[in-house]
Structure formats: structure tokens, C-alpha cells
Structure 1
Amino acid sequence: MTIQKQVGFWIAALVVFALGLWLLRDVLLPFVAGLALAYLLDPLADRLERLGLGRLGATLLILGLFVLGFVLVLFLLAPLVAGQVGSFVANLPAYAARLQRLALDYGQPIVERLGGPQSLRDVEASVGDLVSQGAGWLTAFLRSLWSGGQALVSIVALLVVTPVVAFYLLIDWDHMVEAVDSWLPRPHQATIRELFVEINAAIAGFIRGQTAVCLILGTFYAIGLSVLGLNFGVLIGLSAGLLSFIPYVGSLTGLLLSVGVAIVQFWPDGLMVAATLGVFVFGQFVEGNILSPKLVGASVGLHPVWLMFALLAFGSLFGFVGLLLAVPLAAAAGVLARFALRRYLASSLYSGAPRSIAGHEPALITDVRAAGDA
């Protein structure tokens, strides 16, 4: 088969795969979540197997402990978080109005100096409309998350079907890997295996490491803000930790929310506002200098901009399923792009030199190297 036919075949396969995802996006969530869970827990199952426990026993033990821990966390945190979400939604308009009033009070001399009293009234009206519209939109969005039967059905399916899917996939994981390996085209088997190893290292290094970072940061932010007595501290801290899966987005979102709430709650006590800011500054220092280098590492190859683009693109196309698939597909695309770049840099398209024939270098290159050695 020629190169053109091979490229055409794989492009067609990719198009069919993407089309299937798009058509089945409404029912794929528990299956993709189960696949992700099995992938995350497979190294632990392999380790238990090496200790003498059978694959079935290791799978039952791991998933049992995982489900038990998830249920305990859900029962402990769900009432607290749900209460804070309701209170936050109810108080959001008042908090926004208070921030608007403080901003206009302290910015009044500057606005009047630049445009006069009429400019101040125009700015106040514009900011008021913007804040009210934004608060209304956010309130409606948060309430819509829990309204409608489809959302409830999706949550139930996620909680019930996902562990079952993960159980069967985790039992047969090694057999599935062997089966996929047996399907690889023989002439390119070594190259494809090398690419799969690199893709697996990128995905595992980011997902497992970044998940640990998110859990640690979320716990730290929630405890730190709660100790300061900040309203909705647990909600803001956990949200900031979970959103830290997207580099810089979680910390920036949590910083803006917490400082805004702190200004409304504590002002004019600037020390408490500074302490709230200090929690996120310290968290960012620990993440950048300790957690990320140790848990994620520098060899993952997922640039923050590329990751944010992948999350937004796949999320808009496939919803929550797209968010689950964004990181693996972005990591795979990055590995393939680097492989293609290495091949390009090693080819005559880049160097402009004629390719070697039968293992012999062109005479021009040999003469130049000989002259350089002389």
C-alpha cells in the first residue's frame, strides 16, 4: 500500500471516529468516565498482582475502596457544598452591588477628573447594568445545572454505570492492550509502539499528577479560607482546586472570587483581605515550586495554551464527554506533532540535501565533512 493510501485510510478512520463521538455524545459519558477510571487505576491493579493478588481480587478491592471513599466524601461534603452554593447564589446580587458601590466610591475622584460628574453617572449606570446582567446570568446558570430530568438521569447513569464499566475494563485491561498490539501493522509496529509509550507517559504524567495537585490545592484553599472565616470558603476553595486542572484558570478564578467576597465581608479591614490574597499566593508558590515539578514533571509536553484550547474546543463539540477526552487527545496530538517534526527535521525537505542511497552518504556531504575534519 502506498503512502497516499495509508494516509487516506487513517484520515478516514479519524473522521469516522470523530463522527461517532459526535453522534453518540449524549450516551457516552458513563462509558468514557469508566474508561478513564480504569486507566487511572490500572497501575495499582498491576502492583497488587505483582504482590500475589489475582486480577479479579485486585479489581474488586480497588474499586470497592474507591467507591467507598467517593460515597463517604460525597455524604460529608455534599450537604456543606450544596448549602454554600444555595447561599452564594442567593447573595450574589447583593455582593455584586456592594463591590460596585465600593469601586465607584473609591474611583469617583479619578472619574470626575477625567470626564466630570456626567461621566461618573454614565459609568455607574453602565457598571450597574453589567453587574446585574452578569449576576443574573450566573444565577440562572447555576440553578439550571440542577433543573431538568436529563441532568438527573445523566448523574444517576454516571454514578451507577461508571463503576460497572470500570470493573470490566480493569479486569480485561491487559488483554485489551495485547489485542490492540496484535492489530498494529507489522512494518511499523516498533514505531507505533514507541509512539504509544510516549503518549501513555504524557497522559499518565499529566492526569495522575495534575489530579493529585488539584486535590491537594482544593483541600488547602478550602481549609485556609475557612480558617480566615471567609464566607463560602469551602465552596471557593474546592472550586479553585478542581479548576486547577486547567493551568492558571483555577487559581485565578478562586483568587478573584475570594478577594471579591473578602472585600465585601471584611472591608475596611485590609489585613483580612491581604490574608485572603496570601492564601492563593502561597498556594501558587507551593504548586509552581513543589507540587507540579514533583507530581506532574516537565516532560509531559502539554503547553497550557494548547491544553486550554483543547478543553474549550472538545467541550463545545462534545460537552462533558469532550472535557474527559480533551487531555488524552491533546497529549496524543502533541506526541504525533513532535514525531512529525522530528521526521521533517531529519528529511531532505528540511536540509535540502539529497537522500542517501543504499546507506551511502552523498559525495558532497562526505567531502564537506572531510574538509571540516581537516
Structure 2
Amino acid sequence: MKSTSATKAAASRQRVSISREDIRRQAVFWMGALAAFTGFLYLFSSILLPFVMGMVIAYFLDPVADRLERLGLSRLWATVAILGSFVVMIALALVLVIPVLVAQFNDFAVRMPTYVARLQALAADAQTSLLPDWAKGQLGAIRQNMSGVVSEGMGFVTGLASRIWSSGMAFVDLLSLMVVTPVVAFYILLDWDRMIAKVDGWVPRAHVGEVRAIVRDVDTAVAGFIRGQGSLCLILGVYYAVGLSLTGLNFGLLIGFFAGMISFVPYVGSLVGLGLGLSVALVQFWGADLWTGVGLVLAVFVSGQFIEGNILQPRLVGQSVGLHPVWLMFALYAFGSLFGFVGMMVAVPAAAVVGVLVRYALSRYLMSDIFDGASQETARQ
């Protein structure tokens, strides 16, 4: 009896040893794969933009292609129809919307110093009669500090724009983006299902169930951003842009579209857009129409937040993402600093993938004898 018990204990220890060795080998392999992938991004970040954009577009449109296939179209004609419509929409945006946004951005940059000076003057005039005597003497320092903050902010925006331009948006790169991206998107969307099946065939059979479960979680998280949050940002950008333009706000199209496009970080887009909109409204409508203009701008953003929180977010994104806003902002800064504009594009999907992998690793740790060694040892005895 003791011999049988000792044999079982030895076999159990051997299985634990093999399991730990297997985990160690897998950790080394995947850390090496991650290092190789990071090095690849670093070396080729200057030319990856069209390919990354093509992959994102194909991933975004794959559900539409699957639906058209279920309706009777072949994969080829579904791909042609979807990408044809997509290219037409992008072309119309480039012809009709982008020139207006660029013109408003240039005008806004030219008028920015005037707006800042006017806001400082309005703040000083409004507060002079309300502030105590000891604070009135500090108004000059406050204005000077505010000018410094605004100058640093404008310098940051200008530097970011120049980095984006130099890292991926020069004329030649922009031309390659417009030519190469649709071709890459076409071939990836056409072969998407075959590519997934091929990669699935490379997965070790002993771990195929776990890998598929992890990939499903990753797909849910990434799809929540690329498909769900991307659609939400686009809808909010159009809503804010149209709403602010109808109020008569200067640069309403630019401010609204910008606020919508950065809404993938919760509350950041609406708060930044509200701050810009109210600042411009104070300068533009100062006088008899002040409260009307400010009230209309507030109404646009409050209604936009209501639509986002009660209609768009539950329907388009739901609970599929599970990423903290601080983690998102860190990922954007880190990947943007390492890989430029391409890094900023892959930051959110990469953050979603890392989040899923960390949750998986944490769940395995909580079930392991490393976390609860005493219970495992008792069970083995």
C-alpha cells in the first residue's frame, strides 16, 4: 500500500515537473516571439503604415464580407463590392470634407494667439470685480502663467503634428498609403478565412483549445475597439461636427470632428471638445448672444454624451473591451514614442491583446501551486 502511494506521489511530482518545464519552454518561446515582433516593428516602422492600414480595414470589414457570403455572393465579389464602396466613401471624404477640415485647422492655428489673448482679457475683466484685493494683484502672473501653458500646449501639438508628418505622412508616403492600402486590404480580406484556418493549423494540438479560447477573447476585445469603438467615434465626430456647425460656432466642423475622433478614451473627447467649443464660443458670442451661444454648445455635447452612453456604447461596444482609460493613454504614449505614427495605430489593439493575455496569465497563476502551494501539497499527500 505504501509502495503504491509512493509511486503515485512520484508520478504526481513528475507531472508537476513536466508541467513547469513545459510552461518554462513556452514562456521562453513566446518572449522570443514578442522580442522578434517588437524588433520587426522598430526596424520597418517607416514603411509599415500602408500595410497596417490595409490589415485594419480588412479586419474591420470581414464581418460584412461574411454576411454577404451568407446572402449568396462569392468571397471575391463580396470583397470587390465592399472595398469598392469603401474606396468611394474615402474618395468623397477626401474631396468634400478633408479640404474643409484642413482650411479650418490652418485658420484656427492662425487665430489661436488672438483667441488666447481675448480669453485672458475676458477672464481678467470678469474676475476683477469678484476677486478679493489680494488676488487682484496676481492677475498679471496668472495671465503670464496661462500664456506659458498655452505656448507649451501649442508646442506639443505642433511637435506631434510634425512627428506624424515626418514618420508617415510625407507626400510620397501619403501617395503610397492611398495606392498600397486598398491593394493590401483587398488581398487580406479575400483570403481572410483561409489565413485564419492556416494559422489555426500551426497551433500545437495539445494546447489548441486554450489557444482558441484566448484568441476568441482577443478578437472580442480588439473588435470592440476597431469595429465598435471606431464606429462610435465616427458617429460622434459627425454628430458633434454637424451640431456645432449648426450653432454657427467658428471652426465647429473641426472641433466636433476632432472631439469625436479622440472619444476612444472615455470622456477625453467630449471634455476636450467641450473646452475648445466653450472657449471659442466665449470669444465669438461675447455680448448679448453669449448665453445663447454657450447654451447651444453645451446642448450639443450633453446630448452627444447621452447618445453615446445610452445608445451607441451599449449597442456598438458593450462590455467587450474591458480596458482602463489610463492603460489606453499609457499604451498610446509608449507605442507612439517607440514606433511613431504606426505605433499609435497599433497601440489600442496591442493594449487589448496584452490585457487579455495578462488576465489569462493571472487566472492560471491563481489556479497554480505557486499561488496556493499548501493546498496543492495537501492534495498530493
- Residue number in structure 2 paired with 1:234: 253
- Residue number in structure 1 paired with 2:317: 296
Q: How does 1:180-329 map to 2 (within 5 A)?
A: 180-268=199-287, 269-329=290-350
Find the residue that maps to 1:350 and give its secondary structure.
Answer: coil
- Residue number in structure 2 paired with 1:372: none
- Residue number in structure 2 paired with 1:94: 114
Find the residue that maps to 1:49 and give its secondary structure.
Answer: helix
The one-letter code of the counterpart of 1:346 is M
CA contact (8 A) 2:46 2:168 kept: no
Find the residue that maps to 2:203 and give its secondary structure.
Answer: coil
CA contact (8 A) 1:241 1:250 kept: yes
- Residue number in structure 1 paired with 2:94: 74
223-232 or 318-327: bigger deviation: 318-327
Contiguous gaps of at least 5 residues in structure 1: 364-374
Matches of 2:202 and 2:157 in 1, distance apart? 49
Task: Specify whether residues 33 and 140 from structure 1 end up closer, same or farther in structure 2 by C-alpha distance, changes over 3 A only.
Answer: closer
- Residue number in structure 2 paired with 1:9: 29
Q: Say which of 35, 38, 42 aligns to 1:22.
A: 42
Find the residue that maps to 1:348 and give its secondary structure.
Answer: coil
CA contact (8 A) 1:92 1:135 kept: no
Q: How does 1:14-163 map to 2 (within 5 A)?
A: 14-109=34-129, 113-115=133-135, 117=137, 119-132=138-151, 134-135=153-154, 138=157, 151-163=170-182
Length-normalised TM-score, structure 2: 0.87
Matches of 2:156 and 2:34 in 1, distance apart? 37
CA contact (8 A) 1:93 1:135 kept: no
Matches of 1:192 and 1:147 in 2, distance apart? 39
**Are positions 1:346 and 2:358 aligned together?**
no
Q: Quote how far apart the aligned CAs of 1:143 are.
A: 7.7
346-355 or 74-83: bigger deviation: 346-355
Matches of 1:157 and 1:77 in 2, distance apart? 21
Contiguous gaps of at least 5 residues in structure 2: 1-20
Deviations 1:152-202 (CA, angstroms, capped at 9, x unpaired): 122111111100001111111111111111111121111101111111111
How many correspondences in the alignment? 359
Matches of 1:137 and 1:106 in 2, distance apart? 29
Matches of 2:323 and 2:166 in 1, distance apart? 36
- Residue number in structure 1 paired with 2:10: none
Q: Quote how far apart the aligned CAs of 1:280 are.
A: 0.9
CA contact (8 A) 1:95 1:264 kept: yes
102-111 or 255-264: bigger deviation: 102-111
Q: Quote how far apart the aligned CAs of 1:137 are.
A: 6.2
Deviations 1:35-90 (CA, angstroms, capped at 9, x unpaired): 11111111111111222211111111111110011111221112321221121111
Task: Specify whether residues 315 and 133 from structure 1 end up closer, same or farther in structure 2 by C-alpha distance, changes over 3 A only.
Answer: closer
Matches of 2:163 and 2:212 in 1, distance apart? 45
The one-letter code of the counterpart of 1:285 is F
CA contact (8 A) 1:99 1:264 kept: yes
Matches of 1:3 and 1:32 in 2, distance apart? 32
Length-normalised TM-score, structure 1: 0.88
299-308 or 103-112: bigger deviation: 103-112
CA contact (8 A) 1:218 1:241 kept: yes
